[in-house]
Chain A
């Protein structure tokens, strides 16, 4: 077989990849080296790994790409000390560091583990929410960040001159579209020297309103409402 035939063969094999690779489903990786293991179906990248998939980027020491045996969904697992992550979806930028990140390609779920993992979320208006947790699950499809830790810590920096709001809890769910942060389990929120403690605190970042109570929708609930302005 001549050289030109070899090259032609490779080009023909690669031809179907060219348009598909431009689609959103393509994951691009750069690294120092890679090992393809057909026995396990794993592709392992090592050394200065940068993986990019649409709105998400991970910088890590190692990266393993596999497929779920049952669903066939692509799974990306990155590890680093620490690894850095960056997501930018619909004007909401989330950055941070962790020790392990697992990304499910089809469902766009990113799970972050760390001791702790740190994050910072900035919306289009410049409003910041940063904090730390042990485990975070970020659903990029619905812009929902769910965190747990002992404790989860957060700090919200308003865009204007308002004082920052800080808090801790065992669990925190942040709906980025609704700008709602729900703290549960020994939740504490502080601002301007005032402290609110409850097992459940709902913090509306858009309205700067904090609602405290065991069950926000129950009639018998006890609420503590603070107007911050």
Chain B
């Protein structure tokens, strides 16, 4: 009789544990959706499509003209941009730089803009050949009026092509663009 009681008690214990585990699993499945990683990520407080941001100097001239297809602003963090075009006017308004990128990231203080991925640089000036450059991951420093990249870069100017590593533009010195290292160029004279 004692054996029957003991077996029954053991089976009962196993059944209780199994039921408890099942309940625990079910409760876990119910909780899981509320712990999705996506819900933990911050959401932008402002989203704008086809936004244009213009920063002017003291005299009202356009210094920076930024257009992006999509702008997402995150509270106390940064601003993310998609398909953006940045036009930087020179101090003398003689020539403008146009920087194009697929994505960008602007810091909370709006002092720096990081252009992600491939960046196309173009300068047009009346009476001279355009300069077109291609590089990656370029930082635009508004405060110091310069832009640079440490990635490989290529410049095209008329029939001249120059390649190197690292690209530098000082917007306060109109028309100047530099490749910083390991440069090789081909110049064709007709």
A interface with B by C-beta (< 8 Å): 1-3, 6-7, 9-10, 13-14, 16-17, 20-21, 23, 25-41, 43, 45, 65, 73-74, 105-106
Q: List chain A residues, Cβ under 8 A from B161.
A: 14, 17, 21
Q: Pick the contact of A37: B134, B159, B175 (CB < 8 A).
A: B175
Tell me which of B102, B160, B187 has the highest count of chain A C-beta atoms within 10 A of its own C-beta: B187
B interface with A by C-beta (< 8 Å): 83, 94-95, 100, 102, 117-118, 120, 123, 125, 128, 131-132, 134, 154-157, 159-162, 164, 174-190
Q: List chain A residues, Cβ under 8 A from B178.
A: 33-36
A38 and B120 form a contact (CB under 8 A) = no
Min CB–CB distance A185 → chain B (angstroms): 36
A3 and B102 form a contact (CB under 8 A) = yes
- The CA of A179 and the CA of B58, in the complex, are separated in Å by 70
A1 and B181 form a contact (CB under 8 A) = no
A38 and B175 form a contact (CB under 8 A) = yes
Min CB–CB distance A31 → chain B (angstroms): 5
B187 and A29 form a contact (CB under 8 A) = yes
A39 and B187 form a contact (CB under 8 A) = no
A10 and B154 form a contact (CB under 8 A) = yes
Q: Pick the contact of B159: A7, A20, A38 (CB < 8 A).
A: A20
Min CB–CB distance A29 → chain B (angstroms): 4
Q: List 15 A-B contacts (CB under 8 A).
A: A3-B102, A9-B120, A10-B134, A14-B156, A17-B188, A21-B161, A26-B186, A29-B185, A30-B184, A34-B183, A35-B178, A38-B125, A38-B175, A43-B162, A106-B189
| Known pairs A35-B178, A38-B176; A1 contacts B184 (CB<8 A) | no
Q: Pick the contact of A3: B118, B180, B183, B186 (CB < 8 A).
A: B118
| Known pairs A36-B157, A43-B160; A29 contacts B184 (CB<8 A) | yes
Q: List chain A residues, Cβ under 8 A from B176.
A: 35-39
Q: List chain A residues, Cβ under 8 A from B162.
A: 29, 34, 36, 43
B159 and A16 form a contact (CB under 8 A) = yes
- The CA of A54 and the CA of B96, in the complex, are separated in Å by 37
| Known pairs A1-B100, A27-B186; A41 contacts B128 (CB<8 A) | yes
| Known pairs A32-B183, A33-B180; A23 contacts B188 (CB<8 A) | yes
B120 and A13 form a contact (CB under 8 A) = no
